[in-house]
Structure 1
Amino acid sequence: MKKLIAFPLVASLCVLATAAPAVTVDNAAMLTVETDGSEWLSYDRTWSQQRFSPLQQINTGNVDQLGLAWSIDLDNTRGLEATPLYHDGVLYTSLSWSRVMAVDAETGSILWSYDPGVDRARGRQACCDAVNRGVALWKGKVYVGTLDGRLIALDAKTGKPVWTRETVDREKPYTITGAPRVLKDMVLIGNGGAEFGVRGYFSAYDAATGEMRWRFYTVPADPAQGPQASPALEKALPTWSERTRWDLGGGGTAWDSMAYDPALNLLYVGTGNGSPWNREVRSPGGGDNLYLSSILALRPETGELVWHYQTTPGDSWDYTATQQLTLAELEIDGKPRQVIMQAPKNGFFYVLDRATGELLSAEKFGKVTWAERIDMATGRPVEAPNARYETEPALIWPSPFGAHNWHSMSYSPLTGLVYLPYQEIPATYANEGGNFVVRNAFNTGAGLENRGLPREYATGALIAWDPVKQAPAWRVERPNHWNGGTLVTAGNLVFQGTSAGQLEAYSADAGQPLWQFSTQTGVIAAPMTYRHNGEQYIALMAGWGGAAALFGGDAAVAVGTQNVSRMLVFKLGGKAALSPAPLQQQVDRVPQPVVAAATDISAGADLYATYCMVCHGAGAVGGGVIPDLRHSSDAVREAWEAIVLQGAFSGKGMASFADSLSAEQARQIKLYVMQREYESALSTTQVETE
């Protein structure tokens, strides 16, 4: 086992006899990898984003012999969402805080590591943990998007920066967590930040020089400032209200999925939710609000829009369409169709003609109450009564976590099935409407009344979905949500990691469980596979984290896992073993009743929900990533004001909130947290007594 001690601010080379091999990923290599499974060259392996590997050395007949080949313990305490890339003997991957490393794929020796030096106070502007979903490769360079909005090209041999570009206005709360994509010698990158008030866009940069080629804004600019930048935006403008709050940004951030069809020469990009979520605040009076929550098809040379399909018109629920876009050929009504498929947050599985954007089918793949169905004549959802919670609060499935989030799905052309990480979580939405106030915090315009998230509210499943029949072929129930992405192979295997700390393999055709490995930590990333020196390997970044692990409260605690960050690599006959997971530290303190006015504790609860809950958990219940505030040490309690207001822990990602909170408000939050500690201890005592 290799130990990664630290990431310096510049690249460091491991002392090895030979340097890392040259990387020559180009257009020809990306076309070759469609049929040759030896290498994994892009986040989803290929431009079609199927996450299907033609490798079959590991198969249903021998997967029970799969064992750990090697692992690396990582100096990483936040979620790991990256899928490693493999080329020419080297694995390239990213960690939290946008750090990058290159690893010898056979031995696990670290060839180089790079830390872009993100100011960790920036984590306050990251809605969903300080994560990074991976890197891109092209012609000797490794590309990474950083949490603070930079796009960096690294030399693939040494890890040293070649060029850096600022892709966002650093004065605004933009972030980057997604993996770049590369095609036609251009690096494509989007951004996040719609929960804090930004205008979404994605950009194309010259892969060699970093010069920006074009930029596509996903929502119009304030028309009072002049004409729109493109015909696409002029077309979108009438779908917004005359009373639109342009000062709130609009949203539509393209923070994840991008696919490419070289035959049609079309780039496909999924866009995100509105800013703020609630249309009644964002666009009073209505409107579809293009191009929020949409699938866009563009010419990659220019960024010109060819067609669009909006999955959730006038989004008011955080139903992003940034989830994976998968290209495939399906036989529909007896004819082969070139399609694009997506299972976005809103709970419907969409199949569209990828040349024209024609909707071919759309059905619910889980519990959905916001809409009854998709009208195939119009392509629009038939919304349920009070789905927009305009007159009274509404309990709705799915929640903002989505029926399917960023966790990768996979498609097998051999079985014709899509392997989908599903989760079932409701939320109560309430209309803030005219009472909406812009805060230096989550600005949704929708009052989420679930201040606690009980474990019985959240479940999940691995669904094998037939996109032609629009129905499940088989299903594996999960007692918990926020399970990892999937990988499917020609060995008739589906691999998925779970939030409960297992990496599992199933037969792709029938869903028969065949193998599992205890990872000692919740898994949210998707595994990948490659062939090195004639042997097939499975690789995985294992580390609990992300939005649900931070926010999830009791539902996140239910999985019983903590963050133990590792890179795990498996092969047939592997004999390596993991070191024991570190013990969780316990605070030796007997909680006491809080002596304070009930109004102070109530005020603290409101402030906690506004400023703290998204990272420290619903109901002040930590989810196994960031330390649980209820069990913070006496020293932390004594330094509370220095931490909350003066930024004493900014190096750990806990920024100062002096711009938002007074000393009295910080004290009220502390009283609420202490009260939650006492209530938790009291509840535990009652259970033990019973």
Structure 2
Amino acid sequence: MRQCAAAIICSLVVFALPASAAKPVQVSAAPDTQWRLHGNDFGEQRHSRLEQINAGNVNQLGLAWYFDMYTRRGVEATPLMVDGTLYVSGSWSMVYALDAKTGALRWFYNPEVDRAFLAKGCCDAVNRGVAYADGKVFVGSYDGRLIALDADDGSVLWDVQTTDREQPYTITGAPRIAGNNVVIGNGGAELGVRGYVSAYDQDSGEMSWRFYTVPGNPSDGFETPELKQAAETWTGEWWKWGGGGTVWDSMVYDPELDLLYIGVGNGSPWNQSLRSPGGGDNLFLTSIIALRPATGEYVWHYQTTPGETWDYTATQHIILADIEIGGKTRKVLMQAPKNGFFYVLDRVSGELISAEACAAMTWATGVDMKTGRPVEAEIARVFDGKNVSLPSNAGAHNWHPMSYSPQTGLVYIPSMSIPIRFLQATNERDRMPGQGYWNTGFDRMGNVPPDIPNLGEVITQTYTAQLLAWDPIKQSARWTSEVGPIAGGGVLSTAGNLLFQGSSSGTLQAMNASTGELLWGHDTQTMVMAAPISYAIDGEQYVAVAVGFGGGAAAEAGPIVHHRDIPNLSRVLVYKLGAKAELPPVREQKRQLPKPAPVTAGAEAVDHGQVLYQRHCSYCHGDGMRTGGLTPDLRYSGQAVHDIWQDIVIGGVLKGRGMISFAPYLSEKDAEDVRQYVLSEANKLYARQQAATNTNQ
């Protein structure tokens, strides 16, 4: 599989090159340039003004060096480059300080997160990056801490717990610097928490303020007047469900306006009819909120999806820019959240300037510019297991960072179209929050995504992903490029009229930013989810990216991804013109399944085991047991594992490796039914492998 994919990639690159590509191109020295902030500049535009590497010579780009990280889970971090050191985080919130020219390790920090916390998160033990300020590196750890490190040697300056460790909170997002504060959010809405964002003094680690994004129990009082008003948009006893609204990714600080913008996530549970049975907008779910960074004071908000019920978070990348609209320069905020619309807001007032669909959708027909509210389709909230919702909970755009190029005036969006069918939950037990399963409020069984309804010429495949070059003024696509079945990685644009983006098939590619023409590609040997950066040292421009298969796709994407056998090779890859370093060969991934024990239970028990597996186990062990190698493929479990199955599932003997006890949710009979389902799937796989072997012979 890997050799075939690499061959296809190489052929695409050759065909995309200009006729003069083989001739060396003279390049001038690049000015020394750093990447000190998460999105490079205060607007988080993820655009580099370096142009030594450009559309005319990018075909000469080669691997300068690589660094192997110490774990084998998802990698989603944007590196920082400060004073010649590359600071990059990997899975389990580990931080690596590398020489930006050579890749030599300068220091390493391990926060030693308890592996049992893996059960408290939704989408792998990933980390999206660190923050830097005044000789300090800040990282949010998966178990809810915010840690300040000395940038020179990695020693701990302070370490504070930002969450209740007894609740299923995690941190995967990058901190942001806002004035003298460092700001951090958290995740956990799928498992029943109440969202908030917190700010801490950079020097002391003392909490400066905390802003809750959804109201709590009214009988306890409200932390702010805004939350009291927000509570009027909720019904029932929402606080018993947690409420959700976690700020798990995007934040951006505008020092000129002294405003901090945060993106708020989904409800807990997703299904609004459970958490707020009387309806309502459910503020401040799926909203963009402007706060004063010194005090956490509320300034304004805009809600993208009132009454959210599909996991349409507004935590996706927020970009700030000054753009001429209607003959007037406007200070704008731009976002493409999960719901499929592209929004342009006035970032001073929160006024909606424009909103248009940038992806196919079934849930809404547009946005009413008078009210700023989406116009929902009649079938939007039909959850009968037959109606198709588009976008799915994966979104038309997920966490993968966009880029804005002032040079082309375009926003480059990693987008995708994956449909889903939701089914109203019927089991009362499954409606309550609890560690071990997501409290979505929908029954879930693994299956191939349904066909997309006939929506005209927007979609040509059952599921597809594109890199979308979007004009934020005209609110239309300038060009699109197909990237595979799921979204490509984050995007970097440069003054060399280039776009860099990784793919789920294992390449880093460079395209013409004006046309989308493919100009260069490199086989990264693994999935590229994170966004690249660019910097220059001693007159040479570099492009760096952190790679490694994992994240939510590793468990949830199921049949869309796992047939391609993409390995996890957690690395930092750094490129420059004329470099010729090579990656080591990829070891063969395929393995033969020994003959499993026979199934001893009846069909009813096996079917019950499948239901329990999909409900409790699939988010770690994979939809249909297609894990991508991050956690054990249970079909390959040996007899020794089956002999202590109850000790593992009920007793929790492997808690230290992340496999907690499921005793609160499963009986011993339930656990045995899951085992019988695993054996059933193992025997099916064994039969397929034997048939393939016999055919090849």
Report the TM-score, using the length of structure 2 for normalisation: 0.90
Alignment-derived partner of residue 590 in structure 1: 595
Partners in 1 of 2:634 and 2:463 — Cα distance?
22
Q: What is the aligned length?
A: 654
Contact 2:467 2:480 survives alignment (8 Å):
yes
Q: Deviations over 1:153-175 (max 9, x none)?
A: 01111111111111011111110
The alpha-carbon deviation at position 600 of structure 1 amounts to: 0.9
Alignment-derived partner of residue 225 in structure 2: 231
Root-mean-square deviation over aligned CA pairs: 2.0
Partners in 1 of 2:177 and 2:32 — Cα distance?
19
The alpha-carbon deviation at position 206 of structure 1 amounts to: 0.2
Partners in 2 of 1:223 and 1:593 — Cα distance?
55
Quick one: which of 314, 320, 342 aligns to 1:349? 342
Partners in 2 of 1:225 and 1:433 — Cα distance?
31
**Counterparts of residues 547-586 of structure 1 (less than 5 Å):** 547-584=552-589, 586=591
Partners in 2 of 1:479 and 1:686 — Cα distance?
29
The alpha-carbon deviation at position 533 of structure 1 amounts to: 1.5
| 1:364 equivalenced with 2:357 (yes/no) | yes
What amino acid maps onto 1:317 in structure 2? W
What amino acid maps onto 1:239 in structure 2? T
Alignment-derived partner of residue 406 in structure 1: 399
Quick one: which of 427, 443, 452 aligns to 2:447? 452
**Counterparts of residues 418-433 of structure 1 (less than 5 Å):** 418-432=411-425
Partners in 2 of 1:555 and 1:591 — Cα distance?
26
| 1:292 equivalenced with 2:297 (yes/no) | no
Alignment-derived partner of residue 520 in structure 2: 515
Alignment-derived partner of residue 6 in structure 2: none
Partners in 2 of 1:332 and 1:92 — Cα distance?
38
Alignment-derived partner of residue 239 in structure 2: 246
Alignment-derived partner of residue 7 in structure 2: none
Classify the secondary structure of the residue corresponding to 1:472: strand
Quick one: which of 209, 216, 221 aligns to 2:216? 221
The alpha-carbon deviation at position 337 of structure 1 amounts to: 1.4
Q: Deviations over 1:29-86 (max 9, x none)?
A: xxxxxx9881111221122110001011110011000000000122211100001100
The alpha-carbon deviation at position 562 of structure 1 amounts to: 1.5
Classify the secondary structure of the residue corresponding to 1:610: helix
Classify the secondary structure of the residue corresponding to 1:558: helix
Alignment-derived partner of residue 11 in structure 1: none
Seen in structure 2, the aligned counterparts of structure 1 residues 482 and 650 have a Cα distance that, compared at 3 Å, is farther
**Counterparts of residues 142-291 of structure 1 (less than 5 Å):** 142-226=137-221, 228-241=222-235, 243-291=236-284
Q: Deviations over 1:514-555 (max 9, x none)?
A: 000001101111111111111110111110000012222121
Alignment-derived partner of residue 307 in structure 2: 314
Quick one: which of 628, 635, 648 aligns to 2:633? 628
Alignment-derived partner of residue 81 in structure 1: 76
Partners in 1 of 2:229 and 2:384 — Cα distance?
31
Partners in 2 of 1:140 and 1:163 — Cα distance?
13
Seen in structure 2, the aligned counterparts of structure 1 residues 341 and 559 have a Cα distance that, compared at 3 Å, is farther
Alignment-derived partner of residue 679 in structure 2: 674
Partners in 1 of 2:233 and 2:527 — Cα distance?
42
Classify the secondary structure of the residue corresponding to 2:683: helix
Classify the secondary structure of the residue corresponding to 2:190: coil
Q: Deviations over 1:114-143 (max 9, x none)?
A: 111100011001100000111111111110
The alpha-carbon deviation at position 677 of structure 1 amounts to: 2.5
Q: What are structure 2's unaligned runs of at least 5 residues?
A: 1-29, 451-460
Q: What are structure 1's unaligned runs of at least 5 residues?
A: 1-34
The alpha-carbon deviation at position 107 of structure 1 amounts to: 1.1
| 1:533 equivalenced with 2:538 (yes/no) | yes
Quick one: which of 32, 40, 43 aligns to 1:48? 43
Contact 1:252 1:272 survives alignment (8 Å):
yes
The alpha-carbon deviation at position 331 of structure 1 amounts to: 2.1
Classify the secondary structure of the residue corresponding to 2:572: strand
**Counterparts of residues 382-397 of structure 1 (less than 5 Å):** 382-389=375-382, 394-397=387-390
Classify the secondary structure of the residue corresponding to 1:236: helix
Alignment-derived partner of residue 19 in structure 2: none
Contact 1:556 1:624 survives alignment (8 Å):
no
Partners in 2 of 1:362 and 1:465 — Cα distance?
12
Stretch moving more, 326-335 or 528-537: 326-335
Contact 1:41 1:86 survives alignment (8 Å):
yes
Partners in 1 of 2:246 and 2:228 — Cα distance?
19
Contact 2:137 2:150 survives alignment (8 Å):
yes
Seen in structure 2, the aligned counterparts of structure 1 residues 121 and 449 have a Cα distance that, compared at 3 Å, is closer
Alignment-derived partner of residue 106 in structure 1: 101
The alpha-carbon deviation at position 253 of structure 1 amounts to: 0.3
The alpha-carbon deviation at position 390 of structure 1 amounts to: 5.6
Seen in structure 2, the aligned counterparts of structure 1 residues 445 and 112 have a Cα distance that, compared at 3 Å, is closer
Q: Deviations over 1:4-38 (max 9, x none)?
A: xxxxxxxxxxxxxxxxxxxxxxxxxxxxxxx9881
| 1:59 equivalenced with 2:64 (yes/no) | no
Contact 1:424 1:460 survives alignment (8 Å):
yes
Partners in 2 of 1:638 and 1:73 — Cα distance?
36
Contact 2:425 2:443 survives alignment (8 Å):
no
Q: Deviations over 1:161-220 (max 9, x none)?
A: 111111011111110000000121100000000001110000110000001111100001
